Amino acid sequence: MGKLDGKVALVSGSGRGIGREIALKLATDGAAVVVNDLDAEPAKETVAAVEAAGGRAVACVGSVTDEDFAERFVHTATDTYGGLDIIVNNAGYTWDSVIQKMTDEQWDAILDVHLKAPFRILRAAQPVISSAVKQARQAGADVPCRKVVNISSLAGVGGNAGQANYAAAKAGVTGLTKTLAKEWGRYNVTVNSVAFGLIKTRLTEAPAGGDATIDMAGNRIKVGVNPDVLSAMESGIPLGRAGTPQDAAGSVYLLCIPESDYVSGQTLVCGGGFMM
């Protein structure tokens, strides 16, 4: 018996990296997972990995910034699995510049993916959660504890040079989290955030011999941290290393299991002891 048996989870940005590990972690403990990625192939690969491990998953492909995405994401959960218990707002990327060089497009794109998209997903989920709670109370049944985990960053806690857009968005995630914890307490929903420190993913690890880029809405965005800079950053972490996607997923998992049912409105820092 898993701690999340019978639960249904949404995990945005779960085709790769941290999101994939979150989806696998929740699924191996019993949750049915709606996997999301911008691209179909990574989403299908995560679904296949979940199923190979004996879990249940379905893909909902598309950009979290699309106007119709939030409703489609939520309805995929309810139509496929009949409910919604866990929401992990994980999708995102960085597009860095010092402020004098940052364009409106850069600012808007990062605020949209990291702050507006979670807001829309949570807004779309509210009627589903409210209706389920009302039905349970009318039937005299216990209302289960549902979970929201919004992904933040140490950049949102302490700022980070070159990331005014990302830091502002992640700071906004904290405000959204604390507000929803107050609004949704009456539904027995806990709402928390996890602020990641340095986690090694494709967005931080530069390939040998050159720069890496990703395509976001037609924009080629540079990713990866210079290996020497990455090594220097790791030396400042008390645990002596950057985190892995599995480390990151574990911190999210802690806020999804019954042991955290009385923890809400908090930001858990997953940074190996490092603080901005």
| Angle subtended at Cα 92 by Cα 89 and Cα 93, rounded to the nearest 5 degrees | 160
pLDDT digits (tens, 9 = 90+) for 104-137: 999 999 999 999 999 999 999 999 999 999 999 9
Q: For residue 185, what pLDDT is reported?
A: 98
Which amino acid makes up residue 46? Answer: T
pLDDT reported for residue 190: 99
- Cα of 120 vs its chain's centroid, Å: 14
Structure tokens at 142: 């216990």
In whole angstroms, what separates CA 155 from the centre of its chain?
Answer: 15
At 224 the pLDDT is 62
User: Which residues are identified as catalytic?
Assistant: 166
Instruction: Give CA–CA dist 169/165, Å, rounded.
Output: 6
Measured distance between the N- and C-terminal CA atoms of the chain, rounded to whole angstroms: 39
Distance in angstroms (rounded) separating the CA atoms of residues 276 and 156 = 10
Quick one: pLDDT at residue 230? 78
Give the pLDDT score at 210. Answer: 53
Cβ burial, residue 103 (10 Å; 0-12/13-18/19+):
exposed
Q: What is the pLDDT of residue 229?
A: 74
Beta strands in the chain (DSSP E): 8-11, 32-37, 56-61, 86-89, 146-153, 189-196, 212-216, 219-223, 267-270
CB 14 within 8 A of CB 59: no
CA distance 163 to 170: 10
Cα separation, 62 vs 56, whole angstroms: 20
Give tens-digit pLDDT for 146-185: 999 999 999 999 999 999 999 999 999 999 999 999 999 9
pLDDT < 50: residue spans in the chain: none
Cα 110 from Cα 154, distance rounded (Å): 16
- Chain center to CA of 78: 20
Fill in the DSSP letter of residue 92.
Answer: -
Comparing CA positions, the residue from 54, 276, 63, 263 lying closest to residue 177 is: 263
CATH number of 8-198+244-270: 3.40.50.720
Collapsing DSSP states into helix, strand and coil, what is residue 59? strand
Q: How far is CA 96 from CA 103, 156, 253, 271, 275, in A?
A: 10, 14, 29, 21, 21
